[in-house]
Structure 1
């Protein structure tokens, strides 16, 4: 839940589906408001390392 909430907190993120079991996150976002680097930074803040 921490990872999902962190990603949802990034401005421009529309939808998030996280599976820690599969080590996967599917994120729908507005490219005009954010980018993958900001999303990855939010994941790192939770203590996980994005691929």
Structure 2
């Protein structure tokens, strides 16, 4: 399954991304800052910089 998580750098989102990636799902996390990308990659998610408010 491919899961997209808005607010991908939040505490719950990071835990969910880790769990989903561990079970074999493809996870994309939407983040506002490129500086947060490494944290998503560390839990197995693909970071996408995107501001949903703009």
Establish whether TM, by shorter chain, passes 0.5: no
More helix by share: 2
Scaled by the length of structure 1, what TM-score is found?
Answer: 0.31
Scaled by the length of structure 2, what TM-score is found?
Answer: 0.30
